């Protein structure tokens, strides 16, 4: 399979003595679901912004052959004056979809995220999980091969997050997107990813990598996911310990 994202020797620094990312190389295959974990300030959001084209690399090259990626953030950032459908239609309009097709396409996307009958609701009427699903539908409306997610479920309660994991996994399988999912939640990473990448706490490098071939759909409480989360978690603590010793 071809690579959907290729990073070659990418460095990013605002202050050259303290790089946020340092000579990082990464290949993400098309259709892969990859999770990036690390402690706060390890550069995982910067990595995402580089792939999204919101920031440029100081050195090295970032290649996304399919063009720009779509992005989802921790804050759903829905336009508060537009309905759920209006928010999805805005993304379609900005993509250049004609007026006549927009309504039907928006309805299809809302159905995909299980919000078929909430299209006329305004953001302030929706729960956090529903807003985040509208944001997902909006990101999918951009019809881009690569979807970048920056801790999208961090602010949600456990029950909602659990359901959204199932939902996202299903949407990913139905749409065949390549997903880069940044999180500080190790279990979440083990639950969702084909691959988990652990960043060093400081210095902006890849500390370790895991390939996960647990059968899908997975359960967050399944033994395979738990044991993998355990091993990622202890590696993450080891990274943290290195910083504390400095």
Partner 1 sequence: MSKSPDGTAASDTRDLEHRLDALQLLPSGAVRRTPNWWSGVWPPAVAVLLLLTIWQTYCAIAQPRPDLYPSVFDVASAIGANWDSGRLPAALLTSLTRGGLGFVYAIILGTIIGFLLVEVPLLRRAFGPIISGLQVLPSVAWVPAAILWFGLTDATVYFVILMGAVPSIANGLVDGIRQVPSHIRRVGVVLGAGPVALHRYVLFPAALPGYLAGLRQGWAFAWRSLMAAEIIATGGKLGFGLGSLLQQNRELADLPGVLATVLTILALGIVIEVGVFTPIQRRVLLRRGLTEAR
- Using CB under 8 A, list all residues that contact partner 1: 52, 54, 68, 70-71, 73, 75, 77, 79-81, 90-91, 93-95, 114-115, 118, 121-127, 129-130, 138, 142, 159-160, 163, 166-167, 170, 216-217, 219, 222
Q: How far is the CB of 94 from partner 1 (least distance, A)?
A: 5
Task: Check residue 113 and report its DSSP letter.
Answer: T
Q: How far is the CB of 238 from partner 1 (least distance, A)?
A: 32
Q: Are 227 and 220 in contact (CB under 8 A)?
A: no
- As measured in angstroms, the least distance from the Cβ of 246 to partner 1 is 33
State the DSSP code for 68.
P
Residue-wise burial string across 43-65, b where 16 or more C-beta atoms lie within 10 A, e elsewhere:
bbbbbbbbbbeebebeebebebe
Least Å distance, CB 176 to partner 1, is 16
Q: How far is the CB of 244 from partner 1 (least distance, A)?
A: 32
3-state class of 245 per DSSP? Answer: helix
- Say whether the peptide bond before residue 4 is cis (omega within 30 degrees of 0): no
Q: Please work out, in degrees rounded to the nearest 5, the angle formed at the alpha carbon of residue 74 by the alpha carbons of 69 and 78.
A: 80
């Amino acid at each position: 399979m071809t690579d959907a994202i290729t990073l070659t020797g990418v460095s990013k620094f605002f202050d050259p003595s303290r790089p946020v990312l340092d000579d990082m190389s990464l290949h993400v295959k098309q259709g892969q679901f990859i999770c990036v974990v690390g402690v706060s300030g390890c550069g995982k959001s910067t990595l995402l912004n580089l792939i999204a084209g919101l920031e440029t690399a100081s050195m090295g090259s970032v290649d996304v052959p399919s063009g720009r990626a779509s992005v989802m953030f921790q804050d759903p950032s829905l336009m508060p004056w537009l309905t759920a459908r209006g928010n999805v239609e805005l993304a379609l309009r900005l993509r250049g979809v004609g007026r006549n097709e927009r309504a039907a396409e928006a309805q299809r996307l809302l159905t995909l995220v299980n919000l078929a009958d909430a299209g006329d609701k305004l953001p302030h009427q929706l729960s956090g999980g529903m807003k985040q699903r509208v944001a997902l539908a909006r990101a999918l409306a951009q019809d881009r091969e690569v979807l970048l997610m920056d801790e999208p479920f961090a602010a949600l309660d456990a029950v909602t997050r659990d359901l959204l994991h199932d939902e996202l996994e299903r949407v990913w399988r139905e749409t065949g997107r390549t997903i880069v999912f940044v999180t500080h939640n190790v279990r979440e990473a083990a639950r969702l990813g084909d691959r988990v990448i652990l960043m060093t706490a400081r210095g902006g490098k890849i500390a370790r990598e895991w390939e996960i071939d647990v059968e899908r759909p997975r359960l967050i409480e399944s033994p395979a996911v738990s044991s993998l989360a355990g091993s990622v978690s202890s590696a993450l603590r080891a990274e943290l310990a290195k910083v504390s010793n400095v």
